[in-house]
Structure 1
Amino acid sequence: MKHIRPALFVLLLFAGIQEIVAQPAEQLVKVIVAPDHTNWTYHTGEKAKFTVSIIQYGNLLQNAKIKYDVGPERFPAVKSDSLVARDGKVTIDGGTMTTPGFLRCIVYAEVDGKRYRGLATAGFDPDQIKPAAAAPSDFTQFWDKAKADLAKIPMDARMTLLPERSTESVNVYHLNLQNFRPGARLYGILCVPKKEGKYPALLRVPGAGIRPYNGDIATAEKGVITLEIGIHGIPVNMDLSQYANLAGGALSGYQLFNLEDPERYYYKRVYMGCVRANDFLTSLPQFDGVNLGVTGGSQGGALSIVTAALDPRVKFLGAYYPALSDVTGFLVGRAGGWPHMFNKDNVNTASAKDKIRTTGYYDVVNFARLLKVPGMYSWGYNDETCPPTSMHPAYNVITAPKTLKLYLETGHWQFPEQREGMEGWLQSKLGVK
């Protein structure tokens, strides 16, 4: 195993944000920050206070030195100070917001020469946040044409059985499809129940990064056809070192490739790849012909919404903390969605106008407006990768049946209970237990 670990380290170093599924590692000193409203939510004009507790060995740490910053997420602090929490606990007056949004309090504690960090985020009328993103006048026509062009491309499906991954009840395959233009490929791990019959299907779309995939065997064993796809047109069962090389080289920064041109932007192949994956799933003789869902987190949360909006064959979706949402929020003075392409460092380039135009065709908000199927959504107020300021506008414009399960203190990760709740909802839609 020794030869794997350096490669794994490099992979994680370069992979960018991913669909994080575990809580952050425990630390010796915990900096716990909490707003004084138990639901972390306020009306504009209300004042938010943050209680800070410095915990070591389960007890409040006396005379802890702390520094704090309070301000809108991903923007400079509007209030900063340093003080000593003599009893290990202190209350910070965070102030208020006059327009709907999120106010974040980040606290640093220095203990024995080491710095520890905690944060909490107060939402101010988040259900009233309106999108900055606007759909181009030809938005629907653009994607209708893209789908029509895709339909002309032969699927050319190639399935390779992976006997080492298959189980007593599930066959596992490495899948290779032709994507949005001749020669462009889409890869994934397909899991099909062995028992003869008709089954629902679930498409799992990936968080950002470049990495291999194992497939969703556990759900397949419950009687569901599952397909977990990659988005980069590379096999998803290669050695880890190859993904690390791509992440640090040819695919580094892929989120911004050709952003000046909506026809050539990188995510066109990605969005069409999700539709192509459904072309394949619905063509399988084992598919029940009706029940098709899609789910993912972060970039995968975005792709879940996009796929369900583009493809009427999708009957439901489950999305964790969707990226690519309201990305032009920065242009109206608030946090935009990952990958933050319009923060203060990127808005003054010569090509900014063309880039802004392109994002109108790809912003999750503009797909959320089109949703017609039920969706389960879940995130936390402390997400620093996909700011809640960017996710709530997308949720707010959805007119289809929707449920938002907030796990307030989560960042870009999930509690086990959060995953269990989402998986339970998906399985109920799929008709399995």
Structure 2
Amino acid sequence: MKAYHIIQLLLLLCAVSLNVEAQEIDHDKITFTVTLDRDNPDYKPGEPMKFTFKVDFGEQAPPEKNYSVFWVRSGDDGIRKSGEFTVVPGKAEEVVVSTDKPGFVRLEAWLRDSEGKNIPVTFRKGNHAVKRQKAFDGGAGVEIFSLKQAVAEPADFDAFWTRQKARLNKVPLKYTLNEVAMPDKDFKQYAVTIDCAGPRPVTGYLVIPAKAKDKSLDAIVSYHGYGTGAQKPFVKAWRNAIYFSVNAHGYELGKDQQYYKDFAASIRSGKHNYAFDPAQNADPEKAYFNGMAMRVMRSLQFVKSLPAWNGMNLKVEGGSQGGMQSIWGASLDSQVNEARVNDPWCADVGGVTVKRLNGWRPSYVPGLNYYDIINHAKRIGKHCKVTIVKSGLGDYVCPPSGVTSLYNSIIAPKEIVYYQGSDHGFSLPGGQTFKVKAK
């Protein structure tokens, strides 16, 4: 009996040891890389797009039970496929996709353990680390520089914006500047409120060199992404220019957290967050974007009125919703001569009508066509350089089909940079990039 119990104990200890060993995989040490067979994401119809996957466990023994990679292919062609392969440390695995239709293919992938549980993958750049449940989100396209927006612009597009400008110009350009603390004594900072057409004024923070001479400085206006969080004043200045950072809503500055929570609730439309109500968006003059566009135009009028502006260089910049506002600004104010945007929002809002992969944006109704940034981009003059700093090939907040159609519509000097394996809020460290320029 003693021998029997000893054998049982040894078996139990072995099982515990194996379980501990299985738990000793340090997921932070895993590296997960995906490489497209070329940097240029533009392919011919039917041409293979080859993605090479490599998983490395980082000098630790691989798990006793195999890990796998599960992938999903979707696309503007409406085709959806999936597959899975077993991870063999050090061995590359290829996933090949294609499409016969102009547009983009999206490829997503997850690392999974033997039980099918997603394993988070850590990506590092310097001292910064990001842990992600989805190990890869990227893609490529076919004849992408032939893409156009899905829905024609409204016949009265120009007349509509002429009316909006007339509404704005009925409101005198009056503003208040309240100086706020600026640690860098070579600059002054002001909380700005500017009268504007629409439901609320323009509000934001202005930073300007303390000893600026008249007609000496470029002006830069920066617009914000989606959300209603409190705008904070700057703690440092980094540009020898007039720099005006404008929130999207015209809320009051310097309030407590409860104020901004209440404000966010006040601009909802029924069950919808701001700008997402289809009924509201059906009428372009009642859409939430209308007041936002008014504030964009008024913010540019304001900086042009400042004595220190040199009368020559007026730049707009922003990401996502801020990119959308920047394109509006470059279209609606002919004195803007540079626009730099990052993953710009609401390009090709009607793309869903031709079954293109949709983004996170308001449901399409024709009233949104007046705010589609492609219709605005067409009107940006050749004097204005437009740089799309980033278009993530896995960004389905601002789908690459829409951002590329935006690029294709611009007649001004332009540039776009595609980021492989990058989505809306994440850029893959060391990932492939591809830049396209046109004069």
Considering the TM-score relative to the shorter chain, is it more than 0.5? yes
Q: For residue 98 of structure 2, what is the aligned residue in structure 1?
A: 96
Q: For residue 34 of structure 1, what is the aligned residue in structure 2?
A: 35
Which is bigger in relative contact order (C-alpha 8 A, separation at least 6)? Answer: 1
Which 5+ residue runs of structure 2 have no aligned equivalent?
Answer: 1-26, 121-133, 431-439
**Closer/same/farther in 2, CA of residues 88 and 60 from structure 1, 3 Å limit:** farther
Which of 109, 113, 119 is the matching residue for 1:115? 119
Identity among equivalent positions (%) equals 27
Q: Measure how far apart 1:204 and its partner are.
A: 0.1
Q: For residue 315 of structure 1, what is the aligned residue in structure 2?
A: 337
Q: For residue 389 of structure 1, what is the aligned residue in structure 2?
A: 401
User: One-letter code of the match for 1:115?
Assistant: I
User: One-letter code of the match for 1:371?
Assistant: I
**Closer/same/farther in 2, CA of residues 104 and 27 from structure 1, 3 Å limit:** farther
Question: How far, CA to CA, are the matches of 1:236 and 1:27 in structure 2?
Answer: 41
Question: How far, CA to CA, are the matches of 1:249 and 1:110 in structure 2?
Answer: 43
SS for the counterpart of 2:153 is coil
Q: For residue 209 of structure 2, what is the aligned residue in structure 1?
A: 193
Output the TM-score relative to the length of structure 2: 0.79
User: One-letter code of the match for 2:209?
Assistant: P
User: One-letter code of the match for 1:159?
Assistant: L
Q: For residue 150 of structure 1, what is the aligned residue in structure 2?
A: 168
Q: Measure how far apart 1:290 and its partner are.
A: 1.8
> Does structure 1 conserve the Cα–Cα contact (< 8 Å) formed by 2:359 and 2:396?
no
Q: Measure how far apart 1:58 and its partner are.
A: 6.7
> Does structure 2 conserve the Cα–Cα contact (< 8 Å) formed by 1:187 and 1:230?
yes
Q: For residue 56 of structure 1, what is the aligned residue in structure 2?
A: 57
Q: For residue 83 of structure 1, what is the aligned residue in structure 2?
A: 85
Q: For residue 4 of structure 1, what is the aligned residue in structure 2?
A: none
Greater CA radius of gyration, 1 or 2?
2
Cα RMSD after superposing both structures: 2.7
Q: Which moved more, 1:183-192 or 1:409-418?
A: 409-418
SS for the counterpart of 2:135 is strand
Q: For residue 161 of structure 1, what is the aligned residue in structure 2?
A: 179
Q: For residue 286 of structure 1, what is the aligned residue in structure 2?
A: 308
Q: For residue 379 of structure 2, what is the aligned residue in structure 1?
A: 370
User: One-letter code of the match for 2:50?
Assistant: K
> Does structure 2 conserve the Cα–Cα contact (< 8 Å) formed by 1:70 and 1:94?
no
User: One-letter code of the match for 2:146?
Assistant: Q
> Does structure 1 conserve the Cα–Cα contact (< 8 Å) formed by 2:282 and 2:368?
no
SS for the counterpart of 1:396 is helix
Which of 131, 134, 139 is the matching residue for 2:152? 134
> Does structure 1 conserve the Cα–Cα contact (< 8 Å) formed by 2:218 and 2:241?
yes
Output the TM-score relative to the length of structure 1: 0.80
Question: How far, CA to CA, are the matches of 1:80 and 1:111 in structure 2?
Answer: 17
Which 5+ residue runs of structure 1 have no aligned equivalent?
Answer: 1-25, 343-354, 419-433
Q: For residue 11 of structure 2, what is the aligned residue in structure 1?
A: none
Q: For residue 128 of structure 2, what is the aligned residue in structure 1?
A: none
Question: How far, CA to CA, are the matches of 2:100 and 2:169 in structure 1?
Answer: 49
> Does structure 2 conserve the Cα–Cα contact (< 8 Å) formed by 1:133 and 1:363?
no
1:179-233 Cα offsets, whole Å, 9 max, x none, are 214x621210111110131211100011111122245675x55320111111212
**Closer/same/farther in 2, CA of residues 387 and 216 from structure 1, 3 Å limit:** farther
Q: Is the aligned partner of 1:174 residue 2:191? A: yes
1:11-65 Cα offsets, whole Å, 9 max, x none, are xxxxxxxxxxxxxxx9554433222223333222101122122233378957322
How many pairs align? 376
